[in-house]
């Protein structure tokens, strides 16, 4: 069969988006790995599936798979592309879109300037809910790896994140250290690893080693996690511009007990079909 898809990206974090409302197909992990291969398939960081909701009070179900075939809980850049996709494909006429993910509900808002605002919900700081192995909740934790102790903050934005403050993201060992910390035994479900450089209280630079993918040009949930960790450690204010390799995201968080909001672009690249 021919599978129709759309290629999109959010600040260079690229996606293959598939409408499973107007076409019926089940994609196996092997097929997803084939589609995700940049040499022999379509190529993407994540595959986004648009499905009918399982609850009457949401508009869509949103599922995310890494290019290695594993399903993940959340993707902030993908959420913005998801909103633009269902709006452009006229799957909905709403500008405020309620979406069900595997880890809860999120709200997406189409803006007049074609950017998308995502209500990411309330960050989860309790270690056992991230999940992260620690006896008590704290703004930062010490983690041992290869005989060295690293200080990092931990938060879930619907998926697990660890964030380290570094002097310079350009020279940070994103692949070498990120690939090891991603699989550290204190993260039972593995984790995305962020490397954050503080420019001032309203600006950071960030690189992220994404779980199951590697470093990407942008990570929406990683940007949110970095701002949360920076605020918890007293380094950042409530409105922060996050400078990623692919561009900037605006993050707003008023602190514990409040939802976090992410604002940024979503870009259509092309439409395609591929034979399965």
- Catalytic: which of 16, 219, 240, 266? 219
Residue 219: active-site member: yes
Q: Which of 11, 50, 72, 75 is catalytic?
A: 75
Does residue 81 have an active-site annotation? no
What CA–CA distance (Å, rounded) separates 53 from 260?
24
Cα distance between residue 250 and residue 115, in whole Å:
11
Active site residues: 75, 219
């Amino acid at each position: 069969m021919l599978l129709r898809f759309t290629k999109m990206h959010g600040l260079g974090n690229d996606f293959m988006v598939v409408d499973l409302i107007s076409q019926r197909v089940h994609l196996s992990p092997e097929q997803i790995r084939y589609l995700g291969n940049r040499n022999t398939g379509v190529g993407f960081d994540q595959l986004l599936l648009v499905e009918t909701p399982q609850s009457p009070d949401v508009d869509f179900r949103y599922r995310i798979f890494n290019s290695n075939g594993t399903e993940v809980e959340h993707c902030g850049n993908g959420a913005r592309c998801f909103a633009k996709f269902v709006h452009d494909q006229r799957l909905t006429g709403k500008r405020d879109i309620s979406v069900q993910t595997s880890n809860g509900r999120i709200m997406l808002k189409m803006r007049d300037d074609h950017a998308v605002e995502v209500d990411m919900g309330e960050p989860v700081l309790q270690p056992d809910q991230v999940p992260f192995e620690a006896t008590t909740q704290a703004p930062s934790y010490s983690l041992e790896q290869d005989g060295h102790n690293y200080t990092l903050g931990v938060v879930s934005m619907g998926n697990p994140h660890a964030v380290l403050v570094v002097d310079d993201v350009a020279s940070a060992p994103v692949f070498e250290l990120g690939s090891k910390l991603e699989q550290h035994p204190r993260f039972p479900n593995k984790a995305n690893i962020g490397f954050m450089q503080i420019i001032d209280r309203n600006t950071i630079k960030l690189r992220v080693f994404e779980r199951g993918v590697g470093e990407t040009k942008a990570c929406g949930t990683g940007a949110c996690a970095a701002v949360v960790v920076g605020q918890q450690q007293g380094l950042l204010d409530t409105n922060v511009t996050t400078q990623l390799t692919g561009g900037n995201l605006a993050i707003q968080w008023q602190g514990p007990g409040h939802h976090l909001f992410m604002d940024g672009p979503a870009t259509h690249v092309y439409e395609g079909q591929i034979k399965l």
